[in-house]
Structure 1
Amino acid sequence: MAQSVWGYDSDNGPDHWHENYPMAKGDKQSPIEINSKDVQHDSSLGPWHASYDPGAAKTILNNGRTCRVVFDDTFDRSVLRGGPLTGAYRLRQLHLHWGSSDDHGSEHVIDGVKYAAELHMVHWNPKHGNFAGALKQPDGVAVVGIFLKVSGKYSRILQGIDNIKTKGKEAPFQHFDPSILFPKSRDYWTYHGSFTTPPCEECITWILLREPIEVSSDQMAKLRSLSKNGENEPVNPLVDNWRPPQPVKGRVVRSSFK
């Protein structure tokens, strides 16, 4: 398997990642299954706060593995703070993982429940100089994870998808306030883990929101109609781009709620 071609198929999927990315077999990998009975409520965990500048949103991209929205992170323009974090973390990108049908697609699993999709908002700690530097530090990155469940509701995150049908397509995605994606409840689980894509660096403080947000089945269908092939190739639907839960290996998941 060449460095560049990891993916989610049987020949290059999560079971093979460790062949080129040994960290994928590390002790602090993500995602995990969270079992309520093992979670420790931590009364010292305060609320988290996001102050996002809608002008920081730049582009939406289909890279053949996910749909990603990229933000300007050259200064403290859109930041996350509070909760388990020390200092302000800058929003760099958000992306989604989803299934081929509504009954699976999320990466984290809660008491056996899988959601249709999971949204990851990736922030990094500017005290480490730049994003590459943050990837090498245990407190380098903070990801807010939000579950998506299918209902009649409509979510703006999926509006730009028509412009990025095929791999390599990028389109402007401007004046977007990512905080509209947050559920009403700020309750969260938190644990130390990794990126869920190679090289699977173990630098992430996860803030996983308990309450899912709702998207329409039309929007999920649109997401599943993206192609992981380029414009002049046959359509190859981009679906099931999720990594299954990894061993917890003694880590403790804390919750902000009882």
Structure 2
Amino acid sequence: MTGHHWGYGKDNGPSAWLKDYPIAEGNRQSPIDIVPAEAVFDARLSPISLSYNNCTSATISNNGHSVVVEFIDSDERSVIRGGPLENMYRLKQFHFHWGGKGCSGSEHTVGGKTYVSELHLVHWNAIKYKSFGEAAAAPDGLAVLGIFLESGDEHRFLHQITDALYMVKFKGSVADFKGFNPKCLLPNSLEYWTYPGSLTTPPLYESVTWIVLKEPIYVSEKQMGKFRMLLFNGEEEEDRKHMENNFRPPQPLKGRKVRASFK
């Protein structure tokens, strides 16, 4: 398995990543199981503030591992600040992880509970670093907002994404996707857990301050079905596999503290 061929299959899935990415056994790997009873309420944690008012999406793509919505990187108006963060972090992209039909597929779990899917909004420390790539390798380079998707009613804004998925069915496909503001995907409450962690996909850099929202958003099985119509493969490949179960299981906590913004 070369570094470029990691995936979620039997031979190249999370348990095989260690061979090419020894950091997979590092001390701050993600995701984790968040145990609410063991999380420490920290009164010094301020609420997180998301300024997505003039947020501008640019493209939607299938990178062979997930579906990714990218933002115009120079846009300084879409930022996250507050909470555990020392300065503001700029929104770069968001993507999803999900399970197979009728199966859960969140990366983080809460007291062992898994959700249908998990949305990751990836932000980078543009104050301190010159590029996303530089930030991604630095201990305080990234801030990822994690939002759980729970099975339930149709989400009234998610259809803007699911309706566009047919354009990026194959790995490597990219389509224009302008004017989407992820503010509509936030739950009502922004209470959160936070801990120091890593990217959940190779290169697994330990550069992420995780902010995982307690309250999920709801999504219908029909909407999730559209995600599973995507393919892990490029158009020219023969052995086509539907994109599902694209998540890494929880990693050992190794002495880290999970803090909560709420009692």
The runs of at least 4 consecutive aligned structure 1 residues that moved more than 6 Å come to none
Provide TM-score, normalisation by structure 1. 0.96
Q: Does 1:192 align with 2:193?
A: no
Conserved? CA contact 1:62–1:165, under 8 Å: yes
What residue is the counterpart of 1:114 in the other structure?
114
SS at match of 2:224: helix
Conserved? CA contact 1:56–1:77, under 8 Å: no
- Displacement of 1:55 after TM fit? 5.2
Conserved? CA contact 1:148–1:212, under 8 Å: yes
Equivalent positions of 1:8-23 (< 5 A) are 8-23=8-23
What residue is the counterpart of 1:236 in the other structure?
241
Deviation digits for residues 141-177 of structure 1, max 9, x if unmatched? 0000000112122223433212111111111111111
- Displacement of 1:77 after TM fit? 2.8
What residue is the counterpart of 2:258 in the other structure?
253
| Separation in 2, partners of 1:55, 1:203 | 24
The amino acid that maps onto 1:150 is S
Conserved? CA contact 2:94–2:120, under 8 Å: yes
- Displacement of 1:206 after TM fit? 0.4
Equivalent positions of 1:1-258 (< 5 A) are 1-54=1-54, 56-126=56-126, 127-154=128-155, 155=158, 156-234=160-238, 235-258=240-263
- Displacement of 1:136 after TM fit? 2.7
The amino acid that maps onto 1:206 is W
| Alignment length (residue pairs) | 258
The amino acid that maps onto 1:125 is N
- Gap runs ≥5 in structure 1: none
Q: CA RMSD in A?
A: 1.3
- Displacement of 1:76 after TM fit? 1.3
- Displacement of 1:53 after TM fit? 4.8
Conserved? CA contact 1:54–1:175, under 8 Å: no
| Separation in 2, partners of 1:143, 1:18 | 23
The amino acid that maps onto 2:244 is V
| Separation in 2, partners of 1:26, 1:102 | 32
| Separation in 2, partners of 1:82, 1:158 | 31
Identity of aligned residues (%): 49
| Separation in 2, partners of 1:19, 1:233 | 26
- Displacement of 1:88 after TM fit? 1.0
| Separation in 2, partners of 1:15, 1:136 | 22
| Separation in 1, partners of 2:73, 2:132 | 9
| Separation in 1, partners of 2:229, 2:75 | 35
| Separation in 2, partners of 1:131, 1:55 | 18
Conserved? CA contact 2:55–2:78, under 8 Å: no
- Displacement of 1:105 after TM fit? 0.2
- Displacement of 1:194 after TM fit? 0.1
SS at match of 2:145: strand
- Gap runs ≥5 in structure 2: none
Provide TM-score, normalisation by structure 2. 0.95
SS at match of 2:15: coil
| Separation in 2, partners of 1:45, 1:172 | 38
